[in-house]
Structure 1
Amino acid sequence: MLYGQVITAIHGSRGGDIIFSSRYSNGTWASICRCVNMIHSSNLIQPSLMHIKLGNSSLTSFWYDPWIDGTPLALKFPRLLALEDNKFDTVADRHPNGSWLWFWRRDPRGGIELSNFNSLLDILAMTSLSNNVDTWTWDGDSSCGNSVAAARRLIDLHSIAPFSCPTNWLSLYPSKVNIFIWRLRMNRLATKDNLERKGIDLPNYLCVWCNVQNESVHHVFVSCVISKQIWSYLGSWINFNLPSWNNLEELWIWMDNLSVHEKKKIVVRSIFYSVLWNIWRLRNSYVFNDPTFRISHVLDNIIVTSFFFGFFLDTKNLGLIGPFGCKIL
């Protein structure tokens, strides 16, 4: 309630209506208005999905709220709005005794003004009021009703690409590593090809290591000569001949279909997560000219990370032991 009073004090008695707020305004409320306008203009949520169910109409703006056909009268009849003296009246203010009141600067003239006025009267003739309180209704998701969850579900449905493969969240690792793997599988990392698709200009879009191929998640993590060298180091460390993958999809398929016990698969996945995380750290060190992290450090970091999160070496059989006591591969 207090925030509403603050908005009203800054932006006027209507609080700076979302659909009428200036795009040049500054501040938190203006940012909210711009976000809502973007959602509407992108058809993520159509304004017609939200409308007012009239009761006694004491809370509904006559001109600015979408109480008729989901569109504010101010947008339907801008010429009449220009003639209006009391632009912020409620519907109840205009219909006190069963008849409609008007407060024009001058009466509507012939032509488009009179035609719009007659159309407005035809629309209002079909309006009926009650003694109930005005309420907002939401047609986007009947299962959730008028809720933030319903709006979020609808936005996600139109803006997030479907992803059938679930991300395996490993509690052994920090959240930032799990989130990194999730973004990697969704191809949402800030690789140069993704930045190019977002319209960000860069001096070039080549791999920072080989300067031959365009940088993509597939190139950085599996097909570049540097990443291939790191995977080769890993195979030597765990004493296993890893295949050569052409893209990340092949790596995910190989890892998910590995014919070992589920506990061993968790250990393998954890080590692979460590490799992918450290490859990305190495890539960023090249991009941002960080001299403290180089390829010579990657394998050491992979081993340290694996040991830190619960793996240790079976000195008798020279194999890796996971946190469940199982030797991998």
Structure 2
Amino acid sequence: MANRIAGVLGDLVHEVQSAFIADRQILDGSLILNEVLQWCKDKKKHALVFKVDFEKAPTDEFQFFKGLKQGDPLFPFLFILIMESLHLSFDRVVKAGMFKGIQLSSSVNISHMFCANDAVFVGKWKGINFLEYMSIKVGNGNSTSFWVVNWIGGTSLKLQFPRLYALENNKLVIVGTKLTQQSLDCSFRREPRGGIELEQFINLKALVQNVILAPMEDRWKWDLESSGDFSVASIRKRIDDITLPEVNSKSRWIKYVPIKVNVHAWKVKTDALPSRFNISRRGIVINSIMCEICHNGVETVTHLFFSCCLVREVTRLICRWWDMPFEEFVSYEDWLEWILRLRLPAKNKMMFEGVFFVLWWHVRAFRNKLLFDVKDPVKAGFFDEVVSMSFYWCRYKCKATFSWID
């Protein structure tokens, strides 16, 4: 089996993989990476190089019943085929423009390379400096530069007080030495004069006067967490704040319904669904842009989920079911304003909102069945499907025991 796979493996996987494949050298990836780094140095290009090493030690979430032990002739081929799926996924990310590799020429772009269980991602430097979010927590001050390192005030002291840094004779003096001197200006080439120099000197003394050295080593701390410890969530939030566009209102997330239903509701809010009207706006010729359910209006996202006669009738039944006052909506904004006005306990309001998320999910499914199924769906059971699916999803995502009758 291993010999048969070895003969065709080169045709199955991309050239970014260089290990254990016929007519490819295991060191090709290392040599190419070395040449790319040298090219960046020669051209004075900034680049991001991120190496990933897979541990190969599955945790409890992954339960295996059959597999290959290390040393089996099929083992390296299995790893290569699995890594190919990672290549395909990352290649789609590159083609979508979400990650930019290193453009060596008009036809050569390198974004990632694999060698067995090792992966290296090479990309364009975005200018996000990891050290901006780190600072020093001073202990005895014996390993921290007083002027150069960010240890107090949010940035290095040489940037906060450039006039004083210019006066300093020992620009590499450490914190422990500087703070134990008789005066902060005793290592200056002259005393600070009036104006900006004197003002900066007064501010420097005020900044460090409360610093107390302790009998412990200096250590790094993570500024995005109050505890000082690094967390993936904090850096992920920071990256999102930098890269994602700002919106006027936050997305609404209902924990009692599946992720796919929440995402669908978000697309309803942002008008990101392929309604007939949206499809026609993209220049695609279709037979009709009228609503397939009611035939009384153009199939926009607003009409399909808020103005269509089927949706209004089911909304009326939902309000009767929950004993809520019924109102007609013409847009997502009208619906949201109505939801916010309702006086319900927080948990009940979230469930009630989740029922509408389920309604929109079923409206989309009902519309697709009308368009693509041979047999048309029945409108009579639509409300019952919304009720049963709402109960099913909420029942199994809510820890408490409840009944819709209650």
TM-score, normalisation: structure 2? 0.42
Which of 116, 140, 164 is the aligned partner of 2:249?
A: 164
- 1:246 deviates by 1.2
> In 2, distance between residues paired with 1:144 and 1:201?
52
In the TM superposition, what is the alpha-carbon distance from 1:238 to its structure 2 partner? Answer: 2.9
Measure the CA separation in 1 of the matches of 2:392 and 2:123: 54
Say if 2:100 and 2:123, in contact at 8 Å, map to a contact too.
Answer: no
C-alpha separation in 1, matches of 2:384 and 2:347: 24
Question: Of 129, 138, 145, which residue of structure 2 is paired with 1:142?
Answer: 129
Q: Please say if residues 264 and 326 of structure 1, whose CA atoms lie closer than 8 Å, have aligned partners that are also in contact.
A: no
The equivalent of 1:283 in structure 2 is 367
Change (3 A) 1:174 1:30: closer
1:158-237 alignment to 2 at 5 Å?
A: 162=247, 164-170=249-255, 172-237=256-321
Gap change, CA 1:323 and 1:302, over 3 Å in 2: farther
How has the CA–CA distance of structure 1 residues 273 and 138 changed in structure 2, closer, same or farther, with 3 Å as cutoff? same
How far 1:249 sits from its partner (Å)? 1.5
Whether contact under 8 Å (1:194, 1:216) holds in the other structure is yes
Q: Distance in 2 between matches of 1:184 and 1:307?
A: 22
Tell me how far 1:245 sits from its aligned partner: 0.8
Distance 1:2 1:45 in 2: 17
Which of 344, 351, 354 lines up with 1:267 in the alignment?
Answer: 351
> Secondary structure of 1:195's partner?
helix
| Partner Cα distance (1:183, 1:136) in 2 | 31
Contact persistence 2:254–2:354 (CA under 8 A): no
Q: How many angstroms apart in 2 are the aligned matches of 1:199 and 1:276?
A: 26
Q: How far does the alpha carbon of each residue in 1:258-308 deviate from its partner, in whole angstroms, 9 at most, with x for none?
A: 222212212211222222222222222212235363211111112222333
Find out whether 1:254 has 2:268 as its counterpart: no
Counterpart of 2:17, as a letter, is Y
- Amino acid of the residue matched to residue 221 of structure 1? F
Q: Please say if residues 206 and 215 of structure 1, whose CA atoms lie closer than 8 Å, have aligned partners that are also in contact.
A: yes
- 1:2, CA displacement in angstroms? 7.2
Write the distance in 1 (CA, Å) between the matches of 2:337 and 2:254.
17
5+ residue gaps, structure 1, are 18-26, 51-65, 67-71, 76-134, 312-321
User: Aligned pair in 2 of structure 1 residues 310, 201: CA closer, same or farther (>3 Å)?
Assistant: same
**Alpha-carbon shift at residue 176 of structure 1 (Å):** 2.5
Q: Is the 8 A contact 1:192 1:215 kept in 2?
A: yes
CA contact (8 A) 2:305 2:363 kept: yes
Distance 1:197 1:290, change over 3 A: same
Among candidates 227, 242, 245, match of residue 329 of structure 2: 245
How far residue 221 of structure 1 moved from its aligned partner, in angstroms, is 0.9
Deviation at 1:34, TM superposition (A): 8.9
Query: What is the distance in 2 between the residues matched to 1:166 and 1:142?
Result: 29
Q: How far apart, in 2, do the equivalents of 1:38 and 1:326 lie?
A: 44
Give the Å deviation of 1:33: 7.3
CA–CA distance in structure 2, aligned partners of residues 34 and 261 of structure 1: 44
Check whether the contact 1:310–1:323 (CA below 8 A) recurs between aligned residues: no
Q: Which residue of 1 aligns with 2:17?
A: 3
- Pairing 1:308–2:322 present: no
Change in Cα spacing, 1:209 to 1:137, as seen in structure 2 (3 Å) is closer
1:160-179 Cα offsets, whole Å, 9 max, x none, are: 67463222232x32333223
Q: Which amino acid aligns with 1:3?
A: Q
CA distance in 1, matches of 2:123, 2:382: 56
Contact 2:254 2:350 in 1 (8 A): no
* 169 and 144 in structure 1: CA distance in 2 versus 1, 3 angstrom threshold: farther
Post-superposition shift, 1:203? 1.4
SS across alignment from 1:255: helix
Which amino acid is the alignment partner of residue 202 of structure 1? I
- Give the direction of change, closer, same or farther, for the CA distance of 1:263–1:325 in structure 2 (3 Å limit): farther
Distance 1:201 1:3, change over 3 A: same
> Hey, what's the Cα distance between the residues in 2 that align with 1:190 and 1:307?
28
Please list the CA deviations of residues 93-152 of structure 1 after superposition, one character each: whole Å capped at 9, or x if unmatched.
xxxxxxxxxxxxxxxxxxxxxxxxxxxxxxxxxxxxxxxxxx97713422499xxx99xx
CA 3–257 in structure 1, closer or farther in 2 if over 3 Å, else same: farther
AA at the equivalent of 1:264: N
Number of aligned pairs?
218
Query: 1:325, CA displacement in angstroms?
Result: 7.8
Cα shift at 1:191:
1.4
Question: For the residues of structure 2 that align with 1:180 and 1:136, how far apart are their CA atoms?
Answer: 32
Measure, in 1, the Cα distance between the counterparts of 2:370 and 2:127: 47
CA distance in 1 between partners of 2:347 and 2:404 (Å): 7
Are the counterparts in 1 of residues 370 and 376 from structure 2 also a CA contact under 8 Å?
no
- State the one-letter code of the partner of 1:164: S
Distance (whole Å) between structure 2 residues aligned to residue 245 and residue 295 of structure 1? 21
Report if aligned partners of 2:391, 2:404 keep a CA contact under 8 Å in 1: no
